[in-house]
Chains A and B, each alone.
Chain A
Amino acid sequence: MLTRETIVNIVLAALLLAVPLAANASGQPFYVTIATRVAILALAATGLNLALGLGGLVSFGHAAFFGIGGYAAGILASHSFSGEPLLFGLSGTKQMPLIWVVAMLVAGLVGLLIGTISLRTSGVYFIMITLAFAQMVYYFAISWPAYGGEDGLSILVRNQFAGVNTMKPVSFFLICYVLLMLALGLFVLVRGSRFGSALQAARQNEVRVATVGIAPYRIRLTAFAISAAMTGLAGALYADLNRFVSPSMLSWHMSGELIVLIILGGTGRLFGPLAGAALFVIFEYLLGGLTERWQFFLGLILLATVLFARGGLLGLLAGKARHG
């Protein structure tokens, strides 16, 4: 039996596929780029949603993982371009799948590191510590000269994926779309798994989880690292979309925006990040076209969402969230 939410989700997924394909067919490749941006931001936010939505871990530092993923892509590509060896004689690469693996590994490892310290705390402490760690990575990226510092790092030609011309906007979009759908699938699996049970229970009642003999810390740390890796993957794709990485991917505004996506879409919902990303990009595009003050109105909309429409877009479309 299909619930209303499932129907809304299917419609959203279909729309995200149909709109850019139609735009491409009618010679409007720019809308394909916009849709790609939606897909990538949704992927990043889905990563965050794993920690935030399922685990209740309000990370205000996920830009760090997004940026690290981006830099992984940028650095590998630039070494491949220049031919200089990277580390321990390893060379760079322009192969997307390899770049993705590296991006996820590095982001996941950094997530593990940051999580190890920050998960010892909770509540506001956790919010602020993740924020501060992200700032640390941000300042490092700005002042470390090797990879462009504040100027960022260009990837002159988009990286490659076997058998696909990635420079064609619609091909690259499809790659991102497939990855997003895979990530959403993974999210569903994890949510229904033993691990997901423990993670969600730890959000609802930490003491209860500990009392049945599951250490919440390890569950959360694992979730945080997976979440970081997924957001890192999105970062690598974002780098390829823009053919450019810069420290602004690591800024705390980016962390804030990722949370905004989830809330706009609907906290804890599978398709919340996608709905939120679509809404956000459309706002940015429409409002940005109307007025240079678009951030002012974005602020108002966001405030209204938090105060009066807590379910976000999916809450409006599909009713209250149901829990298993």
Chain B
Amino acid sequence: MLLDVSKIEASYGASQALFGVDLAVAEGEAVALMGRNGMGKTTTIRAICNLNPPRAGSVRLAGTDLKGKPSHRVAKLGIGLVPEGRRCFPNLTVHENLVAAARPGAWTLDRVNVLFPRLAERHAQMARSLSGGEQQMLAIGRALMTNPRLLILDEATEGLAPVIRQAIWAAIRKLKAEGLSILVVDKTLSELLPVADRCVILENGRSVWQGPPAALTADLQDRYLGV
């Protein structure tokens, strides 16, 4: 397993948010992390990256225990994060956003520009002036530039126009085809499920169901995810 999350618990401020989450991502696999709002998806991701270090349980990346490692060490071990809300650096240009934290490897500026031609067109523009979709591309490009082994996308397409969403999903499929391991959160099941090899569902801070997308029946959807 590339990523192995076992029984983690975490708190958000004073109140506990995770009560035992298990989840694994194999090399080259795309895993969808699902659940309603407030069930702990983002907290799980923050715990994996040690942005909110878990209080209990363990997170291992390619066999290395991440316990006690500051978040920049976790990133260097191979996790590339595309956070909820994108969090591009608004006061940096597109180009600067991409190169500021880049690490050498297969992904270069040229390849990112090929993946997202829009970014190449806007390389000198400040990130704050980009549209939501462009910011999402930038956030993905920025994470790729660190040459991660595992890409984590929190709310991959939230709040984006349909056309842009298609572009993002296309890029994610491409990355998966190249063998990149992916952990992805998104609300739009119809778009998410075709990409995922496996799904993990959270409810009230616990992982309650795991399985292939095919096994995710309408019943299950209604019970855990339905609107």
Q: Do chains A and B touch in the complex (CB under 8 A)?
A: no
- The residues of B with any CB-CB pair to A shorter than 8 Å are none
